[in-house]
Homo-oligomer: A and B are copies of this chain.
Amino acid sequence: MKRAYNFNAGPSALPLSVLERAQRELLDFQGTGMSVMELSHRSKEYDAVHNNAKQLLKELMNIPDTYDVLFLQGGASLQFSMVPMNLLGNEQIGNYVLTGSWSEKALKEAKKVGKTHVAASTKEANYTRIPATEDIQLSEQAAYLHITSNNTIFGTQWHEFPELPVDLVADMSSDILSREVNVEQFALIYAGAQKNLGPSGVTVVILRNDLLERIPDNLPTMLDYRTYTTSNSLYNTPPTFAIYMLSLVLEWVKEQGGVKAIEQRNKEKAAVIYEAIDESNGFYSPHAEKDSRSLMNVTFTLPNEEVTKKFLSAAKERGFVGLAGHRSVGGCRASIYNAVPYEACEALAQFMDEFRKQNV
C-alpha cells in the first residue's frame, strides 16, 4: 500500500500508527469480543476511553482545574450559535474579530442571538493578515471577544493572542494542539476534531468553569454547556468511535514528545514549503503577509489560472492530494496539520521547485 501525500484541509491526514492500531482493535476491543463501536457508552470499557481522551487533552494542553473539557457534536458551526446562546447576556455585546470566512460565519450566527460588534477586521485587505492588538476596538459591555486562531481558507494565524480586559473566546478548529498555548488566556476554546484531533464527528470545548454561571435558563438541553459539564459529556450517547480515535491521536501526540515537540516539527514543515515559495522569484505568490503566515495552511497562487491547473494536475499524478485552494479564494493550499509528516512537506517543496523550473 502506498500512503498518499495528504494535504487535505479537513478531514485530513491521521497518524499511520493510530490508524494501524484502530485497525487491529476494530473487531475486538481489549478482549471484549466487541468493536469499540459496539460498546455501551455506559460500560466501564468505554468510560475508560472517554476519560482517557479527556485526561490526555488536559495534560497535553496544560489545562488548569478551573476549566472543563467537553465533547460535543455539530462541529465548530454549532459552536457559532452555542457561544452566544450561552454567553451573550441581554444587555451585552458579542465582540468579533473578522479574519476570514469562519469568523464571518461565527458573527452571522451571533447576530441571530443578540447584539454584536466588529472589534477589528482585515476584510478590506482580503484577509491577508491578522490585525494588531492595538487595532482591536472593544465595545462597551463586551460579553466576550471572539477570534479564529487560524484561518484555513486564507492561511493566516494569530501568533500572539490579544491581552485585553475581556473574556477571549477562540475557534481553534484548525490549529489546536499544533503549538503551545496558555489556556488561561482564554475563557473558552472550541475545535472541530477533523484537523489536528481525529476524524470528524466530535467537537471539543474547553471552558473556564465560572462561565457556567452566566448561562441563561431554558436553553435547549443539547445546546446548554451545563448539560455536558454535569454529565461528563454523557447526557446522551456521545460519538463513541470519534472519541476513541481522539484518544489514540492524543496518545500519539504524547509519544511524539508532546505539544512542544509537535510545534517544533510543525515549524520545520511549514518552513520548507514557505522557502519554496519565497525562493521562487514570485512564481509562487503567498496569500498571507509574512507576519501572519499560518503554520497549518500554506496558501499561494501561481502566475495564472492555466499554470495553476497544470500544477494541480501534475501534483495529483505525483500522489499529492488536497492542494486545490478553497473554492472561495482559488489558487493552492497545502494543509500540513500535525499528522502530515515532514517527508510529505519536503516532497511537496521539491515538486514545487521542479515544477517552477519547468514552467517559469
Contacts and interface: CB of A to CB of B under 8 A. Distances in A.
Interface string A312-343: 00000001011000000000000000000000
A245 B201 contact: no
B192 A237 contact: yes
B23 A38 contact: no
A3 B319 CA distance: 39
A147 to B, nearest CB: 19
B245 A37 contact: yes
Given A8-B38, A37-B11, A1 B28 contact: yes
A31 B237 CA distance: 33
Contact of A35 (B19, B108, B238): B19
Interface stretch (A57-65, A70-78, A299-307): A70-78
Nearest to A321: B34
A201 B73 contact: yes
A20 B27 contact: yes
A295 to B, nearest CB: 20
A360 B321 CA distance: 66
A19 B109 CA distance: 39
A13 interface: yes
Give the interface residue-count category, chain A. Answer: 35 or more
Interface in A57-116: 73-78, 80-81, 85, 105, 108-109, 112-113
Interface stretch (A48-56, A136-144, A218-226): A218-226
A222 B77 contact: yes
A1 B14 contact: no
Interface in A211-248: 218-223, 235-242, 245
Nearest to A74: B73
Interface in A233-286: 235-242, 245
A356 interface: no
A6 B34 CA distance: 8
Interface in A6-48: 6, 8-14, 16, 19-20, 22-23, 26-28, 32-35, 37-41, 43
A297 interface: no
A263 to B, nearest CB: 22
Contacts of A33: 1-4, 6, 319, 321
A235 B77 CA distance: 9
A14 B38 contact: yes
A257 to B, nearest CB: 23
Contacts of A155: none
Nearest to A339: B38
Contacts of A2: 33
Contacts of A319: 33
Given A34-B321, A241-B199, A39 B22 contact: no
A96 to B, nearest CB: 16
A252 to B, nearest CB: 14
A200 interface: yes
5 contacts: A2-B33, A10-B237, A14-B35, A19-B27, A73-B78
